[in-house]
Amino acid sequence: MIRALGFHYVNEASFGVDLVAHKYAELFENNKGKYYLTANCPALILYIEKYFPELIPNLAPIVTPMIATAMVIHQLYGPETAIIYIGPCIANKKEALRYTEKARIDSVITFRELRELFKEFGITEGKHEYGDFDKPFGRKGSLYPISNGFLQAADISEDLLTGSVITAEGRSTMVKAVKEFADHSQVINRHFNVFYDHGCIMGPGTSRGGDRFFRRTLVVNYANKRLQTFNKREWEKELKHYLHFDLSTSFIADDQRIAQPPRDKVKEVMIAMGKDEFDDNLGCGACGYNTCYDFATNVVKGLTTTEMCITHAVKSRQNSIQHLQTINDQLEKTKEALRESENSARREQQLAKQAYSTMEAMLQKLPSSLVIVNDKLTILHTNESFIKFLGPEAAEINEVIPGLTGADLKTLLPFPIYNLFSFVLLNGEDIQKRDIHFNEELYNISVFTIQKGSVAGAVIADVHSPEVRKEEVLKRIDEVIDKNLEMVQKIGFCWAKALPKPNRC
Condensed to tens digits (0 to 9), the pLDDT of residues 433-462 reads 888 999 888 889 999 999 999 999 999 988
Rounded mean pLDDT of 118-145?
Answer: 88
Instruction: Report pLDDT digits (tens) over 184-215.
Output: 988 889 999 999 988 888 888 888 888 888 99
Rounded mean pLDDT of 248-276?
Answer: 86
Helix axes 310-365, 470-498, angle to 10 degrees: 170
Least confident of 1-10, 270-279, 442-451, 489-498: 489-498
Q: What is the band of 504 on the pLDDT scale with cuts at 50, 70, 90?
A: very low
Rounded mean pLDDT of 327-340?
Answer: 89
Name which residue leads in pLDDT, 83 or 483. Answer: 83
Rounded mean pLDDT of 398-417?
Answer: 91
Where exactly are the structural domains of the chain? 3-242, 263-308, 366-498
As its CATH architecture, domain 366-498 has 2-Layer Sandwich (3.30)
Residue 467: per-residue pLDDT: 43
Q: Is the pLDDT confidence value at 497 over 60?
A: no
3 state SS of 432: strand
Residue 315 backbone dihedrals phi, psi, to 5 degrees:
-65, -45
Residue 470: per-residue pLDDT: 54
Residue 469: per-residue pLDDT: 45
Instruction: Report pLDDT digits (tens) over 43-62.
Output: 999 999 999 999 999 999 99
Residue 445: per-residue pLDDT: 92
Question: Exposure string (b/e) for 315-324, b if CB count within 10 Å is 16 or more?
Answer: eeeeeeeeee
Rounded mean pLDDT of 361-381?
Answer: 87
**For the whole model, what pTM was predicted?**
0.60
Q: Is the pLDDT confidence value at 502 over 80?
A: no
3 state SS of 246: coil
Q: Is the pLDDT confidence value at 120 over 60?
A: yes
3 state SS of 323: helix
- The C-alpha atoms of residue 433 and residue 447 are separated, in whole angstroms, by 8
Q: Which residues contact 138 (CB under 8 A, 6 or more apart)?
A: 12, 13, 14, 15, 16, 17, 18, 153, 235
Average pLDDT, whole number, for the chain? 86
Q: Is the pLDDT confidence value at 72 over 90?
A: yes
112, 206 in Cβ contact below 8 A?
Answer: yes
Residue 185: per-residue pLDDT: 83
Residue 486: per-residue pLDDT: 63
Residue 271: per-residue pLDDT: 82
